């Protein structure tokens, strides 16, 4: 499963996997209890691959923060549960992401991040694919260091030519007098 297939729905706890789409919204499956349901047009849905966290000198993508938490855990440290005290939450994120912006990242955001990591750590493939944006399009590249190739194929429109080779104007119906 990739991070672009996982969403958070405002007003609902936990995160959800996208199963499909219908005319009124998305069909989702909860990663907490496995229940399937659909959203409506009024619910705000956030795709996890689009979420970033504030740093002192910019922003960092959520996938990078999740990778750092995984590396932190692989280093022999334990990830706390989401019901920790606010100061412990800030200390944990400070150990994982030292440059996070302490004014704009709230303890509730850190607790939500910890709970999301707990749900995703066994199902999400952290290292398989990196996503880069090239000319407004997402390009997937493997972690082998390859650079994404740009698509240089531009669409060209053909204009109709007459028998003599002159370009003809597109025809439009004539207006009739009233």
Domain borders along the chain are 1-50, 51-144
Mean pLDDT score, 36-57: 92
Q: What is the pLDDT of residues 98-126, one digit of tens each?
A: 999 999 999 999 999 999 999 998 888 76
Label residue 27 by pLDDT band (50, 70, 90): very high
CATH classification of 1-50, choosing from 2.30.30.730, 3.90.550.10, 3.40.50.720, 3.40.50.2300?
2.30.30.730
Q: Report the C-alpha gap between 178 and 176 in whole angstroms.
A: 6
Q: Indicate whether 142 pLDDT > 50.
A: no
Q: Indicate whether 153 pLDDT > 80.
A: no
CATH classification of 51-144, choosing from 1.10.10.1650, 3.40.50.1370, 3.40.50.2300, 2.40.33.10?
1.10.10.1650
């Amino acid at each position: 499963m990739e991070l672009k297939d996982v969403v958070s729905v405002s007003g609902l706890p936990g995160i959800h996997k996208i199963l499909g789409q219908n005319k009124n919204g998305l069909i989702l499956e909860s990663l907490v209890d496995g229940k399937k349901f659909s959203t409506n047009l009024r619910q705000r849905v956030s795709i996890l691959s689009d979420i970033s966290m504030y740093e002192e000198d910019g922003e960092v993508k959520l996938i990078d923060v999740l990778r750092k938490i995984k590396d932190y855990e692989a280093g022999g440290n334990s990830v706390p549960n989401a019901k920790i005290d606010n100061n412990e939450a800030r200390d944990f994120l400070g150990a994982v992401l030292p440059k996070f912006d302490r004014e704009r990242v709230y303890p509730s955001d850190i607790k939500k991040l910890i709970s999301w990591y707990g749900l995703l750590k066994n199902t999400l493939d952290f290292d398989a694919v990196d996503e880069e944006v090239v000319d407004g399009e997402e390009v997937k590249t493997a972690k082998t260091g390859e650079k994404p190739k740009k698509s240089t194929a531009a669409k060209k429109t053909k204009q109709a030519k007459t028998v003599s080779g002159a370009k003809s104007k597109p025809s439009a119906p004539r207006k009739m007098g009233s």
